[in-house]
Amino acid sequence: MPADNYPARRAPAGQRAVRRQNLRLVLRHVSRNGKSSRAQLASATGLTKATVSSLVAELLDAYLLIELGPEPRGLTGRPGSALALNPDRYAGIGLEINVDYVAACVTDLKHRIRYHHVECADNRADAKIALDRLARLGSVAIRAAHEMELTPCGITLALPGIVDQVTGRLLRAPNLNWTDLPVVESLGDRLDVRPEEIHLDNEANLAALGELWFGGGEALGDFIHVSGEIGIGAGIVTRRALYRGARGFAGEIGHISIDPSGELCGCGGRGCLERFCGQEAMLRAAGLPPAAPATSTGDPGGPISGLLAALQRGEQQAIRAVRQGGEALGIGLAGVANVVDPDTIVLGGIFTPLASWLMEPFTAALLRQTVVTRWAPPRVAVSSLGPQAAVRGAAGSVVQRILADPSLFISGEEE
């Protein structure tokens, strides 16, 4: 991997602030490169060897780094000791509520999945019941982390709606029929966790970050990750960072109208994209009943198992429904691509298992209506994470907060 292009160090804003920045530089370099010696860290960051040695000592004492032993350096010279992130001390907890399932995930500092579980259930009836269900699963995940001798360092909750990250409130989730709920406070009470230890985000945003950290990563370039469930959302990643928009609400592509005289949507609009290619829309078009989520555990792709079986049997109504959904999705994404100009569009959620039937009409519609197709058409990829992307992104976002400010774990560094 090429060396990181670190920004030049600015004039000190205080010794503590400079040390915090340098701790972050060192830890992030090790994270991005897998392992590094002290000499490599000094060369990559521009810090002196003495400063690097001091910073590394603090990170080792805080159990954020471990030493792997000497690294061979050729025929001459003393071998340096390789440093790596410590995967066996700290963990991030990711939780997700979607329309027809709840999920939990635990990941360590190396973004390795240490625990993952899904419980299928209809969460539309009552927010209290859904939060109780999620809290039970969250408690199991926290207990699993402790049993692996991992210290949970925070929780991120993924929700399919518009959220206010500052207040911790869900503002609106049309497909859940939830409005203005203090979800962070409510979940904190149930888990006996302080609200400031729980972060909230839109599930499509976290799915895009999950793709960045666990899936295609840097090879995707600037990309749009499309999450297909009952609703449809998108996360837009540019220069390895999530684009949120002026108020944090970017990516609500499921409510782009592609037929103003079409079917009424739960958002109040008509002819919204998800009314053509959302999970329930395609099931109805295929002549199948809307999936009734099982109460047992399973993969959240389970609700489309009947549709997949019909497709595999070659049933023409099912094939036609998915192809029409793929075409509608391509039309909707073409408009987004014309504005954003991504390198890649990634199909995730239920679109991952449906890709074999959906990809051709989707790509044809996308390229037909994307103005730069002749010169630089966007690539189309299928997510390797599928419906797991959001909850994995949620857990990964906790790890990213640790890497962003390791001083919080070092005695005497608090401001």
Sheet strands side by side (includes 101-108): 113-120, 101-108, 90-98, 151-159, 198-202
CB contact at 8 A, 224 and 342: yes
Residue 152 parent element (H or E): strand 151-159
Instruction: Report pLDDT for 11.
Output: 41
CATH 3.40.228.10 fits 15-86, yes or no: no
Joined together, the tokens standing for residue 172 give: 């609106």
CB within 8 Å of 384: residues ≥ 6 apart? 215, 216
Boundaries of CATH 3.30.420.40 in the chain? 90-206+391-403, 215-386
* CA distance linking residue 182 with residue 134, whole number of Å: 15
Longest dimension (CA), the chain: 76
Instruction: Report pLDDT for 324.
Output: 97
Boundaries of CATH 1.10.10.10 in the chain? 15-86
pLDDT tens for the chain, 415 residues: list them. 333 444 444 445 588 889 999 999 999 999 999 899 999 999 999 999 999 999 999 999 999 999 987 766 654 555 678 999 999 999 999 999 999 899 999 999 999 999 999 999 899 889 999 999 999 999 999 999 999 999 999 999 999 999 999 999 999 998 899 999 999 999 999 999 999 999 999 999 999 999 999 998 889 999 999 999 888 999 999 999 999 988 888 989 999 999 998 889 888 899 999 999 999 999 999 999 876 554 444 454 467 889 999 999 999 999 999 999 999 999 999 999 999 999 999 999 999 999 999 999 999 999 999 988 778 889 999 998 988 999 999 999 999 999 999 998 886 554 4
Architecture of domain 215-386: 2-Layer Sandwich (3.30)
Instruction: Report pLDDT for 305.
Output: 87
CATH 1.10.8.100 fits 90-206+391-403, yes or no: no
Instruction: Report pLDDT for 297.
Output: 42
